[in-house]
Chain A
Amino acid sequence: MRPLMQVLVMLFCATPLLAQQRIEVRRAATRDVYVRVNGAYARVKVTAWSRDSVALVADLPTGTRLEPAVPGPKDPPAKGMKFYIEGPEGGGAATGSVELFVPAGATVWTKAANARMEVNGVTGGLDLNLVGGSIVVTGNPSNLNIESMDGTVSVTGSPQWMRVKTASGDVTLRGSSPDAGITTVGGAVSIADGTFERLRIESITGAVTFAAHMGRAGNLVVDSHSGTIDLQLDQKASLDLDATTIAGTILNNVNARRPTPGREGRGEELSLGLGIGDARVTLRSFKGNIRLSRR
Chain B
Amino acid sequence: MDASHPTAGASEPTVPDLVARAQRGDVDAFGVLYRQHESRVFAICLRLAGDRQRARELMHDAFVRAWERLGTYRGDAAFGTWLHRLTVNVVLEAARRDQRRTARVELAEDDESMVGVPASGVSDPLTRMALEEAIASLPPNARLVFVLHDVEGFAHDEIAAQMGLASGTVRAHLHRARQLLMQRLAP
Contact = CB atoms under 8 A, between A and B. Distances in A.
Interface of A: 125, 127, 142-143, 145, 160-161, 163, 179, 198, 200, 202, 219, 221, 223, 280, 282
Interface in B60-118: 100, 103-104, 107
Contact of B103 (A143, A200, A202, A223): A143
A161 B166 contact: no
B103 A282 contact: no
A198 B107 contact: no
Nearest to A160: B107
Nearest to A143: B104
Contacts of A198: 169, 172
A200 B104 contact: no
Chain B interface residue number, banded: under 10
B49 to A, nearest CB: 22
B168 A221 contact: yes
8 contacts: A142-B107, A143-B107, A161-B104, A163-B103, A179-B107, A202-B166, A221-B169, A223-B166
Interface of B: 100, 103-104, 107, 166, 168-169, 172
B168 A161 contact: no
Nearest to A201: B166
Contacts of A143: 103-104, 107
Contacts of B107: 142-143, 160-161, 179
Contacts of A179: 103, 107
A157 B107 CA distance: 18
Nearest to B166: A221
Given A160-B107, A161-B107, A219-B172, A200 B166 contact: yes
Nearest to A162: B103
A145 B100 contact: yes
Contacts of A221: 166, 168-169
Contacts of A161: 103-104, 107
B168 A282 contact: yes
Contacts of B168: 200, 219, 221, 280, 282
A125 B104 contact: yes
A4 to B, nearest CB: 16
A278 B104 CA distance: 25
A218 to B, nearest CB: 10
Closest 10 CB pairs of A and B: A221-B168, A221-B166, A282-B168, A219-B172, A143-B104, A161-B103, A200-B166, A160-B107, A161-B107, A200-B169
A198 B175 CA distance: 14
Contacts of B103: 143, 161, 163, 179
Nearest to B169: A200
A206 B39 CA distance: 48
B66 to A, nearest CB: 30
A235 to B, nearest CB: 25
A56 B169 CA distance: 41
A244 to B, nearest CB: 12
A223 B160 CA distance: 14
Most chain A C-beta atoms within 10 Å of own C-beta, residue among B100, B104, B166, B169: B166
Contacts of A163: 103
A221 B172 CA distance: 11
A145 B103 CA distance: 11
Given A125-B104, A221-B168, 8 more contacts: A142-B107, A143-B103, A143-B107, A163-B103, A179-B103, A198-B169, A219-B168, A219-B169
A259 to B, nearest CB: 20
B63 to A, nearest CB: 28
A142 B169 CA distance: 21
A44 B33 CA distance: 56
A117 B146 CA distance: 40
A200 B168 CA distance: 9
A280 B103 CA distance: 22
Nearest to A181: B169
Nearest to A125: B104
A171 to B, nearest CB: 18
Contacts of B100: 127, 145
Most chain A C-beta atoms within 10 Å of own C-beta, residue among B100, B103, B168: B168
A221 B173 CA distance: 14
A177 to B, nearest CB: 11
Nearest to B172: A219
